[in-house]
Chains A and B, each alone.
Chain A
């Protein structure tokens, strides 16, 4: 499974047309303790850069964007009761949604893990 990142700090793991997405360790560190995740509905059709959901932390509410054009096939309902999973394991247990990608070419515009690491470093 290949992992890619966006400039808005979402990650997406892709295998063929299936994907799973969430927000990066860097993003959750910026947000602080997450207290609520407004999950998208299963079946929702997302266009790249649409708002997928809102994540609320003790500091602010932040919109999370779709890294690619896709349909939501499953959401991580365990975040309803345990939003802190996003802080504890942002890139594994704290995933937000599983997706079915409409156009696989979308991932070409995203950053690889190495590129993203450089990008985060450049933010200081």
Chain B
């Protein structure tokens, strides 16, 4: 398994590790709930070096043919979420494209899919130059209502970006890309910096007593409280953006790889549809539990956790189209002893976070 440049720091912090997308990653440090709380109420740092980064030098129109988001219409210093599809209209990966200049882009992809994405993009981008800079790029996220203050205090920079905007800043003598993005639902930043600076940056941020290190365990609860999909759980090659409730990240006014198949699938009607639900009590719904409506199996859970903020179970899943509507009662079952009463609800589960503050 692969290790990030911060592996030694995690060892010093006595992290608990686990496998994720081919990487040996910190799952938690002092405890998942404490780390979750730090991010919601103060600030938390995450080692996200496992994610992949590609640079593309070329025309926006060329990228537009490869991915679902509108790249040509993206201003410099802005980023946009979207998908790379397969030849069946399914999701090969979800990714964010950053427009650095007129003809220079950074593409940030998931860890487990990075190799596959690179091969697919290499074929799709006939003109221009694609390079994989994952190895030399460290990605450290700082997330939480105090994260702007923390960056000011620890790095002496006033970031002050709008949501999904980014800029280049001098960080520890290195030119770093900082974007106002994240996966937690809080005000936060993702810092992309030369990996030789990873350890120094990590420790500099943790030098602020208001910041806690947080692992992938807390990150999973944080993202699910916002209803964000996780690639491999909630979206995959057999799921279209439409089915996953993410059609707003597809620009149908242009041509892109997989569009024909996606449109054809849309015309035939969705095979399944994503739903979000809450369950009563402190018990956690879990991935692969079944979703029942009036005793009938209508689908399955793809992500589920106990939300510490809401003090109830929350989850995402897929059901047969039309099987339920918002507010309907459901039962979540493990097929054995666990039966949780639930209700279809809208996402985000959490509103009023510091995300857009």
Contact = CB atoms under 8 A, between A and B. Distances in A.
Contacts of B217: 32, 58-59
B49 interface: no
Interface string A35-58: 110100000000000000010101
A120 interface: no
Contact of A38 (B16, B283, B305): B283
Contact of B32 (A32, A54, A83): A32
A41 to B, nearest CB: 13
B306 A58 contact: yes
A36 B282 contact: yes
A27 to B, nearest CB: 14
B75 interface: no
B28 A32 contact: yes
Contacts of A35: 33, 282, 284, 306, 308
A60 B284 CA distance: 9
A58 B28 CA distance: 11
B31 A36 contact: no
Interface residues of A, number: 13
Contacts of B32: 32-33, 58-59
A56 B306 contact: yes
B221 A58 contact: yes
A113 interface: no
Contacts of B31: 32-33, 87
Nearest to A56: B284
Contact of A33 (B33, B283, B286): B33
Given A35-B306, A36-B306, A56 B283 contact: yes
A58 B31 CA distance: 10
Given A32-B28, A35-B306, A36-B306, A58 B283 contact: no
A59 B220 CA distance: 10
A32 to B, nearest CB: 6
A34 to B, nearest CB: 10
A83 B338 CA distance: 18
Contacts, number: 41
Interface string B241-283: 0000000000000000000000000000000000000000111
A60 B90 CA distance: 30
Nearest to A38: B283
B284 A61 contact: yes
**Quick one: which of A54, A61, A83, A87 has the most chain B CB within 10 A?**
A61
Contact of A61 (B27, B221, B286, B308): B286
Interface string B41-84: 00000000000000000000000000000000000000000000
A59 B282 CA distance: 14
B283 A36 contact: yes
A83 B284 CA distance: 13
B217 to A, nearest CB: 6
A60 B220 CA distance: 13
Interface string B182-220: 000000000000000000000000000000000001000
B284 A36 contact: yes
A86 B306 CA distance: 17
Given A58-B33, A58-B305, A36 B281 contact: yes
A59 B284 CA distance: 10
Nearest to B36: A58
Nearest 3 CB-CB pairs, A to B? A36-B282, A33-B33, A58-B32
26 contacts: A32-B16, A32-B32, A32-B217, A33-B33, A33-B34, A35-B33, A35-B282, A35-B284, A35-B306, A36-B281, A36-B282, A36-B284, A36-B306, A38-B283, A54-B337, A56-B282, A56-B283, A56-B284, A58-B32, A58-B305, A59-B27, A59-B32, A59-B217, A61-B284, A61-B338, A83-B282
